[in-house]
Amino acid sequence: MIKRSNFRGCYQGDTETLAQALLLDASVVEQKAAAEECLTVALYRHESMVFLYMEALCETLTPEALFPHLTALLSLWPGKADADPAKLLKPRAWVYMYPIYHHDVPETKEQWAREGKKKRRGRIAILKEDKLFSYVYYHKALVEEGLLEGDRYQFISLHENILFSYFEEPKQFTHIKKECKEESSVIWDWLAVNPESHFDHDLSGEENFLLIEEIYGYNSAETEKKGGQKNV
């Protein structure tokens, strides 16, 4: 089983300290991959925001286990309220981003293998607060329909009103219901509500999403692996 997840963190330190932490964590990621606990791992940064994309083969794998040195540098987020209101909130370094959109579902390592050399990409967008639920509604509907083609590795998640989108280039186009030849009808519903109106363009200018810097990337199938210090 391959479990894909996105997480968000907050780093407010300097670039040199970040590079040193990623250099140490690179060996940890490689060890986890050698133990068949993960496949692809990628980190992206925009200002103080850090985003993690991970493909886990082990259900208990966490961002803290992959990046212990980076985790120690992140600011803590307030935790979720416990069932007992008398208990304190539990702060954490990484917050889980809720997945809302994808074009394919990984089943096995063989089925999920990349074809040729891939470029990992990360991008972010800010949703207008009054349009947040509209965006989620239509994208969940597109996933449930399963007919819209896109990059098989694309994976969009949400935290607060921040979207993080992971994808790879060159894109490998597919859709969830591969055997079905029908075209999507939900996409016309989405286009009818003016997609552009959902985005706060102060972040990305004319574009809806802003491409952001990859600071670490690893894929277990690649012969050439990039260390964190090269990408900071």
DSSP-derived 3-state class of residue 178:
coil
Separation of alpha carbons 76 and 11, rounded Å: 10
Separation of alpha carbons 213 and 196, rounded Å: 24
Q: What is the pLDDT of residue 115?
A: 87
Model confidence, pTM = 0.92
Q: What is the pLDDT of residue 110?
A: 92
Count how many residues are written for the chain. 232
Domains identified in the chain, total number = 1
- Domain hosting 41: range is 3-231
Q: What is the pLDDT of residue 164?
A: 98
Of 169, 200, 220, nearest to 40 by C-alpha is: 220
Q: DSSP code of 135?
A: H
Question: What is the full per-residue pLDDT of the chain (232 aa) written as tens digits?
Answer: 899 999 999 999 999 999 999 999 999 999 999 999 999 999 999 999 999 999 999 989 999 999 999 999 999 988 765 566 666 668 899 999 999 999 999 999 999 999 889 999 999 999 999 999 999 999 999 999 999 999 999 999 999 999 999 999 999 999 999 989 999 999 999 999 999 999 999 999 889 999 999 999 999 887 444 444 334 4
**Cα separation values, 100 from 11, 89, 135, 213, 224, Å:** 25, 26, 9, 22, 31
Q: DSSP code of 177?
A: S
**DSSP letters of 211-224?**
EEEEEEEEETT-SS
Q: What is the pLDDT of residue 226?
A: 44
Q: What is the pLDDT of residue 229?
A: 38
Q: What is the pLDDT of residue 227?
A: 44
H-type helices in the chain, by residue range? 15-34, 63-66, 68-71, 132-145, 186-192, 228-231
Which contiguous run of DSSP H or E holds residue 169? strand 162-169
DSSP-derived 3-state class of residue 77:
strand
